[in-house]
Amino acid sequence: MRRRILAAMVAVTALAVAVFAMPLAVAVQRVYRDEAVVRLEREAARAAIGVPATFATSGDPPELPASEPGTLLALYGADGRRVLGDGPERADRPVVGALAGRVAEGSLGGRIVVAVPVGGQERAVGAVRAALDQAAVTGRTVRAWLAMAVLGVGAVAVAAVAARTQARRLGRPVDALAEAAGRLGQGDFAARAGRAGVAEVDAVAAALDATAERLGRLLARERTFSEDVSHQLRTPLAGLRLRLEAAELRPDADRRRAIADALAEVDRLEATLDELLALARDAAPARGPLDVAGLLAELEQAWHGPLAAAGRPLRVLAAGPLPPVRASAVAVRQVLEVLVGNAAEHGIGVVTVRARAAAGGLAIEVADEGAGVVGEAERLFQRRAGSASRRGIGLALARSLAEAEGGRLRLHHPGPGPVFALLLPSDDTPVPTPLADRPPSTPEQRT
pLDDT tens, position by position, 38-89? 999 999 888 888 888 777 667 676 788 887 888 899 999 888 898 888 889 9
- What is the DSSP secondary structure assignment for residue 79, as one 8-state letter? T
Contact partners, residue 51, CB within 8 Å, separation at least 6: 62, 64, 75, 118, 126, 128
pLDDT at 445: 41
Q: Are 112 and 30 in contact (CB under 8 A)?
A: no
pLDDT at 7: 83
pLDDT at 59: 65
Neighbouring CB atoms inside 10 A of 321's CB total 7
From CA 301, how far away is CA 213, in angstroms rounded? 43
Q: How many CA atoms lie within 13 A of 158 on its CB side?
A: 7
CA distances for 181 relative to 67, 84, 170, angstroms: 80, 89, 17
pLDDT at 222: 63
Q: How large is the greatest C-alpha to C-alpha distance in the chain, in angstroms?
A: 166
DSSP per-residue codes, 230-274: HHHHHHHHHHHHHHHHHHHH-TT--HHHHHHHHHHHHHHHHHHHH
Distance of CA 34 to the CA centre of its chain: 60
- What is the DSSP secondary structure assignment for residue 81, as one 8-state letter? B
Name residue 54's amino acid.
Answer: T
Name residue 113's amino acid.
Answer: V
Q: What global pTM score does this model have?
A: 0.45
pLDDT block averages, 10 residues each, the chain of length 447: 77 86 89 91 88 74 81 89 89 90 89 87 82 89 90 89 79 77 79 76 81 74 61 65 73 73 72 64 66 89 84 88 87 87 86 89 89 66 54 73 84 77 76 38 40
pLDDT at 277: 66
pLDDT at 436: 35
Q: How many CA atoms lie within 13 A of 380 on its CB side?
A: 25
Contact partners, residue 144, CB within 8 Å, separation at least 6: 25, 28, 32
